[in-house]
Structure 1
Amino acid sequence: MGGNQYWMLSKIGEIRRDESCLDYAGNDVILYPCHGSKGNQYWNYDHKTKQLRHGSSRKCLTINSTKDKLLMEECDLMLPRQMWQFENYNATLATEDSHMRH
């Protein structure tokens, strides 16, 4: 992944870049064509804890210590590698697309 990248959290819970979405089916976090059906591509952002929780696994999106790979781990409020910041995120309007960086 390396460096900051531009991603959007869509109003239906996808983390996307163009037509590709982050997808997790129990192994690696991968890029997969967005399908709009939620499932493996559904993410819930908690603006208070700054964590991204995967809809079906309930695990949190985590970046590894060298910041070159995304992982899924049990959510831990004390783990900064699970904290994500969105620009233009408004929790009261959560229907607007937001932009993510770590």
Structure 2
Amino acid sequence: MENIAFDLPQYYPPVPLPPYATGEIRSMNNSLCIDTKHANEQATFGLDLCLRDHQGRSGEQDFELEWRQDIRPKGRYLCFDVSQRSKRTSIVLFACHGMRGNQHFVYDINNYHILHVTTRLCLDCDLESRQVFMEQCNTKSNTQRWIFSSYNETLILKDLQEFF
């Protein structure tokens, strides 16, 4: 089997790998977090008050950046999906397919950017309207700086080397 499908473990490892990053995705510019609010497929989503700071509120703010390099609400099979490369491109939830492409993200822990690999755009937000979208990367933009609750620096840095 190894001669036929030598790269199989790269896409389907024998033991599931740990997530690269987990927890809330918090804007470093304020106390708002990405919240998918248990939305269905094809839905867009935005920002809301971080649940960790505001007990008693409901929402869906626990995410995983998986080894397949997709971002999904924990325990669900819907992924962040970006299908266009235009100004303020929307992000929708779409069934995870594991093929990267529209769902391929890396977390740049040096600049705190969440980058969409295919379009080379960064996750951005409008704090007033609480919308999230993809925009041209700008290291000086505070609205493009995000922090996961926890992340595996070793795995992320390995990914970044492949990306840059």
Give the drift of 1:37. 0.7
Larger Rg: 2
Identity %: 31
Give the drift of 1:3. 2.4
Gaps of 5+ in 1: 95-102
Q: TM-score, normalised by structure 2?
A: 0.54
Query: SS of the counterpart of 1:21?
Result: strand
Runs of 4+ in 1 over 6 A off after TM superposition: none
Match of 1:12 in 2: 68
Q: TM-score, normalised by structure 1?
A: 0.83
**Aligned-pair RMSD on alpha carbons?**
1.4
Match of 2:138 in 1: 76
Match of 2:110 in 1: 48
Distance 1:86 1:67, change over 3 A: farther
Give the drift of 1:73. 0.7
- Tell me which of the two structures has the higher relative contact order, counting C-alpha pairs closer than 8 angstroms and 6 or more residues apart: 1
Q: Which amino acid aligns with 1:29?
A: I
Alpha-carbon distance between aligned partners in 1 of 2:133 and 2:68, rounded to the nearest angstrom: 22
Higher strand share: 1
The alignment covers a number of residue pairs equal to 94
Give the drift of 1:84. 1.0
Query: SS of the counterpart of 1:56?
Result: coil
Alpha-carbon distance between aligned partners in 2 of 1:67 and 1:10, rounded to the nearest angstrom: 29
